[in-house]
Amino acid sequence: MPSVEQFPVRVFGGPTALFEYGGLRFLTDPTFDAPGDYEENGRKILTKTAPASGSPDDLGGIDVVLLSHDEHPDNLDNSGRALLADVPLTLTTPGGGERLGKGAVGLADWESVDLDRPDGGTITVTGVPAIHGPGKREEVEPITGQVVGFVLTGEGLPTVYVSGDNASLDAVKEVAERFGPVDTAILFAGAPRIPVLWDGSLLVIDSAQAAEAARILGARRVVPVHYDSWAHFTEGRDELVAAFTNAGLADRLDLD
């Protein structure tokens, strides 16, 4: 079981999770739309299959949104965009920072911002590499766009890694080399595949890779997100449990 020292993380479905850290309240990739299809140029691109387990009204005040990328509705949907208007700070990709405008700050790899804690001190949020598909970043980004992950650190605080939509274990190794071991890893998983992209290759890690990422990071706790509520996710809770059990890491997995 996760240590009692660990802070609670509330997962709403899809990539959306809420947690308090260092006295500030963080929300990942807000997606609160009802189930339905999303279209682009008159063509269906994604289908949401289940509602979030809560609404924006349930959140209370949010200090910071950690947005892995703004270009896909399964990471930022219509209700999520509306929510950003009431959030003082959104940290995201460099391109997303430009597109979203006021209140949004883009982080390049290893670029950091310091946030004031209510009771003194700071939280450092560092942008870390993420690749949204198979292959090298320069080959992937023209198709699926920029993605950023995040590492949160602070004096007397646990180290937190938020992966974003990442399919690269090499990127995870880079994070581990700089920040490991990690106390809590919020890993985007679900093995999403879209047949027309790279012949259906993984766009984000699958369950076995999530377990391997946990090993690489030395993570004390893994909170998986991004594994349900969308039709293009091909692995869910059962596959995550099986993968972590097979890897001997079931005690690290926090699905509650």
Tokens coding 49? 């299959």
Whole-number pLDDT of residue 195: 82
Query: How distant is the alpha carbon of residue 184 from its chain centre?
Result: 12
Whole-number pLDDT of residue 42: 74
Please report, for residues 9, 63, 112, 149, 153, the alpha-carbon distance to residue 126 in angstroms, rounded to integers and kept in the order given: 20, 16, 4, 8, 8
What DSSP element (H or E) covers 27?
Answer: strand 24-28
Whole-number pLDDT of residue 98: 95
Chunked in runs of 10, what are the mean pLDDT values of the chain (256 residues)?
A: 66 97 97 92 85 92 97 94 96 96 95 96 97 91 93 97 97 98 97 86 95 98 96 96 98 92
Is residue 224 reached through a cis peptide bond, with omega within 30 degrees of 0 on the bond before it? no
Please report, for residues 10, 88, 148, 240, the alpha-carbon distance to residue 64 in angstroms, rounded to integers and kept in the order given: 15, 7, 15, 28
Amino acid at 13: G
Instruction: Please give the Cα distance from 166 to 197 (Å, whole number).
Output: 15
Instruction: Please give the Cα distance from 109 to 60 (Å, whole number).
Output: 30
Please report, for residues 82, 113, 133, 150, 235, the alpha-carbon distance to residue 188 in angstroms, rounded to integers and kept in the order given: 23, 22, 13, 12, 12
Query: Do residues 226 and 190 make contact, with C-beta atoms less than 8 angstroms apart?
Result: yes
Q: In this structure, what is the dihedral angle of CA atoms 73, 76, 80, 81, given to the nearest 10 degrees?
A: -90
> What is the pTM (predicted TM-score) of this model?
0.95
Whole-number pLDDT of residue 47: 94
Query: Which neighbouring-strand residues pair with 2?
Result: none
User: ∠ CA 238-130-27 to the nearest 5 degrees?
Assistant: 70
Alpha helices in the chain (DSSP H): 78-84, 94-100, 137-144, 169-179, 207-217, 237-246
Nearest to 125 by CA among 76, 89, 84: 89
Nearest to 233 by CA among 94, 81, 52, 50: 50
Instruction: Please give the Cα distance from 251 to 244 (Å, whole number).
Output: 8
State the CATH architecture for 9-252.
Answer: 4-Layer Sandwich (3.60)
Whole-number pLDDT of residue 5: 58
Hey, how many other C-beta atoms are within 10 angstroms of the C-beta on 171? 21
Whole-number pLDDT of residue 44: 76
Alpha helices in 113-217 (DSSP H): 137-144, 169-179, 207-217
Instruction: Please give the Cα distance from 120 to 122 (Å, whole number).
Output: 7
